[in-house]
C-alpha cells in the first residue's frame, strides 16, 4: 500500500472517528510524523513514552484553573513536565490523576504494598485502609471468577471495614 | 573508602557470581521516596534543595547500615570523570550524573547499596546484587528503607502509597530490574521471544544503562512498569517465578541448539571475537562489548577453556571510558583512547 501523501510505502495506518464517521489514513512514517498527536519517533525510550502518555491522557482536564494550595503547581504545569510539585498534589488533582493512574498501573487506583510504620502515628487507620484496599481487589477477582458466594462475603467484610475507617 | 578505590574491582553488578550467573548478570531493586514537608524537586528552592540534601546525607551516614566503608559523593562538585565512573558501575543514573544543583550518592555495603539523593525523587534507594538474587535484594533494601524511615518521615498516603514526583512511580515506588546476558538468543535471531514474554506481564525491556539505551553486548534489562495496586512481593514474584525462568529457559535452549546444530558457526563467532580482542590496535567501546559478549558465551559453553570468566566479566567494565582513564591515570580522547583500550585488552588477555 502506498502513502496517501507521497509515493513511499505506507507503514502507518490510523483510524480516526470524527463526528461518528470512521476515517482511515494510510501514511508513510515521514508523513505520519507531521500529523499532530502521532509519536514522532518509532522507538522512543520508555521514559519518553511514559511522559508522552501522561501528557496525552492528562488532556482530559478541562478546568486548568486549579492549582495546589501548597506548592502552587497547576494542572498545565504538570502537563508540561509530567512531574508533580509536592506530596499534596495527589489530593489536589485527585480527579484528574485517577484515570491517568489507572492507565499507567493496569487499572489500579489503590496502594497495596508496604506501609511506613511512622508517618505521624497514623499506623492503625492506614493499615485498616490497606486491608480495605486488599478486600476490594479480592472482590473484583471473585466477581471476575463468578464466585458470587465469596463475593457476597467480601462485600460484607468491606462494609464492616468501611464503617471503621 | 574513596571513589578511586573502586576502579580495581569488578563492581557488584559484574562480579559474575550468584545464582544463574551465566545468564543473569544482576538483580536490582530501587525504591523511590520523598521526605514529607519538602516540595518535590521541581518546586524546591535552591536553599531547600541544599538543606534537604544535607538532611538526607546525614541521616544515611548516621544509620546502622552505614559503616566506615560507606562513602558519599557530592555530585554537584564531583568532576565529570568521577560521575561517569559511577554511571559505568550502575551506582547512579545518567540523568543524575548530568543534572544540576545540590545532589549526591551514598555508596555502601560493598557497592550493593547506592542511595541517590535529589534525583527525580528525594531518595532513590538501590540494591544491586550479582546473579538472580531478587529475594535477597528485597530483604536488604526493605531493611535499609525501614532504618531510613525511623529518622525520616516519608511522604505517604493510605490510598496512593508512597508519593513520588512522577505518578508512574507512585504506590510502592519500586522498580525491579533484572539484567540478562542473552547472546545465544541474539545469534539465533530469537530475541523477539524475550520481548513477548516481558510484554505479557507488562514489563519493559531496555539496554545496558536503562532507559533509552541500546542492548549493547547482548545485555537486556527487564523492568516492571506499574507500581500501584500490587505488593512488592507480588511484583518480585512475577519476575522470579514467571518471566525470568522463562527467558533463562529460552536462552538455554538457544545455546543447546547452537552447540548441537551449528557448533562450527558458534566457534567461528567466539574465536573471531577473541582474535579481534587479542589483535586490535584501535577499538571502540561498542565493538569491545560485542566481542566480549561472544567470548563470554564461548567461555560459559566451554568452547574456550584457557580463559577465566572473571577476567572477561571485568573487561566489560574496565574498558569503558571513565574506568579506562582512571586506571591509566590520564585523560584520553578519540584515537588515543581507542589505542589505550586495545592495548589494555591485549595485555589483560595475554597475562593468563
Distance from A26 to chain B by nearest Cα, in Å? 26
Instruction: Say yes or no to pLDDT of A89 above 50.
Output: yes
CA-closest candidate to residue A75, choices A88, A51, A92:
A92
The grid coordinates of residue A88 equal 499534596
Q: What ipTM was reported for this prediction?
A: 0.86
Which residues numbered 58-77 in A keep a CB inside 8 Å of some CB on B?
70-73
Contact B106, B123 (CB under 8 A): no
Which residue spans within A19-80 are E strands per DSSP? 21-27
A141 shares contact with chain B (CB less than 8 Å): no
Q: Determine the pLDDT at residue B1.
A: 62
CB contact under 8 A, B228 and A84: no
- Confidence at residue A97, expressed as pLDDT on a 0 to 100 scale: 92
How long is chain A?
A: 165
Q: How far is A100 from chain B (nearest CA, A)?
A: 8
Q: Residues of chain B whose pLDDT is less than 50?
A: none
Provide CB contacts within 8 A for B141, sequence distance 6+: B29, B30, B31, B113, B125, B126, B127
Quick one: pLDDT at residue A120?
A: 43
Collapse the DSSP code of B297 into the 3-class scheme (helix H, G, I; strand E, B; otherwise coil) and give the result: helix
Q: What letter would DSSP give residue B111?
A: T
**pLDDT-derived band of residue A3, with 50, 70 and 90 as boundaries?**
confident
Evaluate whether B134 touches B176 at the Cβ level (below 8 Å).
yes
CB distance A111–B204 less than 8 Å? no
Chain A, chain B: beta-carbon pairs less than 8 Å apart: 145
Strands (E) located in chain A: 12-18, 21-27
- Residue B17 has a pLDDT of 75
Beta-carbon separation of B158 and A129 below 8 A: yes
Of B185 and A144, which is predicted with more confidence?
B185
CB contact under 8 A, B42 and A54: no
Q: How far is A21 from chain B (nearest CA, A)?
A: 33
Residue-wise pLDDT for A14-54, tens only, equals 777 777 777 777 888 777 777 655 654 444 455 566 666 66
Question: What is the Cα Rg of chain B in Å?
Answer: 21
A121 in contact with chain B, both atoms CB, cutoff 8 A: no
Least confident of A99-103, A138-142, B166-170: A138-142
Chain A contact probe: residue of B33, B166, B167 with most A CBs at under 10 A? B167
Whether the CB-CB separation of B105 and B115 falls below 8 Å is answered with yes
Q: What is the pTM of this model?
A: 0.80
Residue of chain B whose Cα is closest to the Cα of A126: B158
The beta-carbon neighbor of B171 closest among A82, A85, A113 is A113
Chain B interface includes A34 (CB < 8 A)? no
Of A46, A101, A112, the CB nearest to B231: A112
Axis-axis angle for helices B321-328, B309-318 (nearest 10): 100
Q: Look at A109 and B163 and tell me if their CB atoms are within 8 Å.
A: no
Amino acid at each position: 500500500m502506498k502513502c496517501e501523501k507521497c509515493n513511499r510505502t505506507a507503514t502507518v495506518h490510523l483510524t480516526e472517528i470524527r463526528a461518528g464517521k470512521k476515517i482511515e489514513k494510510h501514511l508513510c512514517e515521514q508523513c505520519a510524523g507531521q500529523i499532530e498527536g502521532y509519536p514522532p519517533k518509532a522507538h522512543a525510550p520508555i521514559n519518553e513514552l511514559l511522559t508522552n502518555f501522561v501528557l496525552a491522557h492528562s488532556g482530559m482536564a478541562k478546568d486548568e484553573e486549579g492549582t495546589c494550595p501548597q506548592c502552587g503547581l497547576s494542572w498545565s504545569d504538570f502537563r508540561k513536565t509530567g512531574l508533580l510539585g509536592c506530596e499534596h498534589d495527589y489530593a489536589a488533582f485527585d480527579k484528574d490523576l485517577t484515570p491517568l493512574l489507572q492507565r499507567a498501573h493496569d487499572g489500579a487506583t489503590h496502594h497495596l504494598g508496604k506501609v511506613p510504620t511512622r508517618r505521624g502515628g497514623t499506623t492503625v487507620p492506614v493499615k485498616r485502609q490497606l486491608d480495605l484496599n486488599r478486600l476490594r481487589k479480592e472482590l473484583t477477582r471473585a466477581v471476575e471468577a463468578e464466585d458470587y458466594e465469596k463475593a457476597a462475603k467480601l462485600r460484607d467484610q468491606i462494609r464492616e471495614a468501611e464503617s471503621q475507617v | 573508602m574513596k571513589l578511586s578505590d573502586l576502579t580495581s574491582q569488578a563492581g557488584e553488578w559484574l562480579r559474575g557470581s550468584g545464582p544463574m550467573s551465566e545468564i543473569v548478570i544482576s538483580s536490582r531493586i530501587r525504591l523511590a521516596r520523598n521526605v514529607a514537608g519538602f516540595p518535590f524537586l521541581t518546586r524546591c528552592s535552591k536553599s531547600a534543595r541544599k538543606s534537604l540534601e544535607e538532611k538526607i546525607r546525614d541521616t544515611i551516614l548516621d544509620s546502622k547500615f552505614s559503616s566506615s566503608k560507606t562513602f558519599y559523593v557530592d555530585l554537584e562538585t564531583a568532576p565529570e570523570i568521577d560521575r561517569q565512573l559511577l554511571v559505568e558501575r550502575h551506582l547512579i543514573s545518567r540523568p543524575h550524573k548530568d543534572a544540576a544543583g545540590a545532589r549526591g550518592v551514598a555508596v555502601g555495603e560493598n557497592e550493593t547499596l547506592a542511595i541517590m539523593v535529589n534525583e527525580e525523587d528525594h531518595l532513590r534507594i538501590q540494591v544491586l546484587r550479582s546473579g538472580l538474587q531478587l529475594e535477597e535484594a528485597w530483604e536488604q533494601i526493605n531493611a535499609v528503607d525501614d532504618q531510613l524511615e525511623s529518622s525520616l518521615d516519608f511522604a505517604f498516603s493510605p490510598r496512593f502509597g508512597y508519593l513520588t514526583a512522577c505518578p508512574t512511580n507512585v504506590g510502592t515506588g519500586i522498580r525491579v530490574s533484572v539484567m540478562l546476558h542473552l547472546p545465544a538468543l541474539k545469534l539465533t535471531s530469537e530475541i523477539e521471544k524475550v520481548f513477548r514474554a516481558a510484554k505479557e506481564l507488562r514489563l519493559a525491556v531496555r539496554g545496558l544503562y536503562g532507559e533509552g539505551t541500546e542492548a549493547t553486548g547482548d545485555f537486556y534489562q527487564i523492568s516492571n512498569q506499574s507500581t500501584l495496586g500490587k505488593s512488592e512481593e507480588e511484583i518480585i514474584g512475577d519476575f522470579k517465578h514467571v518471566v525470568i525462568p522463562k527467558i533463562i529457559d529460552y536462552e538455554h535452549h538457544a545455546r543447546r541448539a547452537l552447540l548441537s546444530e551449528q557448533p562450527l558457526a558458534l566457534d567461528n563467532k567466539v574465536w573471531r571475537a577473541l582474535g579481534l580482542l587479542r589483535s586490535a590496535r584501535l577499538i571502540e567501546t561498542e565493538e569491545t562489548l560485542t566481542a566480549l559478549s561472544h567470548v563470554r558465551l564461548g567461555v560459559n559453553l566451554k568452547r574456550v577453556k584457557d580463559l577465566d570468566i572473571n577476567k572477561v566479566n571485568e573487561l566489560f567494565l574496565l574498558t569503558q571510558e571513565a574506568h579506562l582513564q582512571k586506571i591509566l591515570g590520564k585523560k584520553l580522547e578519540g584515537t588515543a583512547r581507542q589505542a589505550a583500550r586495545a592495548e589494555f585488552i591485549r595485555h589483560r588477555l595475554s597475562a593468563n
